[in-house]
Amino acid sequence: MANIRFDDVSKRYPGKIAVDRVSFEVPNGTFFALLGPSGCGKTTILRLIAGLERPDAGEIAIGKKPVAGHGRFVGPEHRGLGMVFQSYALWPHMTVAANVDFGLAGRGLSRAERRNRVREALDLVGLSAEGARRPHQLSGGQRQRVALARSLAVRPGIILLDEPLANLDAHLRQTMLAEFGRIHAQARTTFVFVTHDQNEAMALADQVAVMDHGRLQQLAPPEELFSRPASPMVARFVGQGRLLAADVVASAGRTTRIRLDDTEFQVEGAAPIGPGWLCLRARDVELAGDGAAGERLNGRVVASRFEGGDHRLTVEVGAAGATGLVDVLSPQRGRIGEAVRLALRGGWVLAREAT
Q: Between 34 and 219, name the residue whose CB sits nearer to other proteins.
A: 34
Nearest to 317 by CA among 297, 334, 333: 297
Annotate each residue in 231-260 with x if it binds other proteins (CB under 8 A) or - if it does not, as one string.
Answer: ------------------------------
Q: Minimum CB separation from other proteins for residue 206, in Å? A: 23
Q: Are 301 and 338 in contact (CB under 8 A)?
A: yes
Q: Are 299 and 316 in contact (CB under 8 A)?
A: yes
DSSP conformation class of 25: E
Nearest to 258 by CA among 284, 280, 281, 276: 276
Give, to the nearest 10 degrees, the angle between helix 140-153 and helix 111-124. Answer: 140
- If one asks whether residue 108 binds other proteins (CB under 8 A), the answer comes out as no
Pick the stretch among 12-20, 136-144, 148-156, 236-244 that binds other proteins (CB under 8 A).
Answer: 148-156
- Chain centroid to Cα 211, Å, comes to 8
Radius of gyration of the chain (CA): 24
Q: Between 47 and 173, name the residue whose CB sits nearer to other proteins.
A: 47
What is the chain's length?
Answer: 355
Pick the stretch among 27-35, 46-54, 187-195, 274-282 that binds other proteins (CB under 8 A).
Answer: 46-54
Applying the rule CB under 8 A, the residues between 71 and 100 that interact with other proteins are: 75-83, 85, 87, 89, 91-93
Q: Between 150 and 173, name the residue whose CB sits nearer to other proteins.
A: 150
Q: Minimum CB separation from other proteins for residue 181, in Å? A: 23
Q: Minimum CB separation from other proteins for residue 151, in Å? A: 8
Q: Between 87 and 263, name the residue whose CB sits nearer to other proteins.
A: 87
Q: Minimum CB separation from other proteins for residue 82, in Å? A: 7
Considering only 150, 173, 184, 242, the residue that binds other proteins (CB under 8 A) is 150
Q: Between 19 and 84, name the residue whose CB sits nearer to other proteins.
A: 84
- If one asks whether residue 52 binds other proteins (CB under 8 A), the answer comes out as yes
Sheet bearing 82-84, strands edge to edge: 82-84, 158-162, 190-195, 31-35, 207-212, 215-220
Query: For other proteins, how many residues bind (rule: CB under 8 A)?
Result: 26
Sheet bearing 57-62, strands edge to edge: 16-27, 2-13, 57-62, 65-69, 72-73
Q: Between 150 and 196, name the residue whose CB sits nearer to other proteins.
A: 150
DSSP secondary structure of 100-142: HHGGGTTSS--HHHHHHHHHHHHHHTT-GGGTTS-GGGS-HHH
Considering only 16, 72, 107, 345, the residue that binds other proteins (CB under 8 A) is 107
CA distance 48 to 64: 17
Residues at the interface with other proteins (CB under 8 A): 50-52, 75-83, 85, 87, 89, 91-93, 102-103, 105-107, 150-151, 154
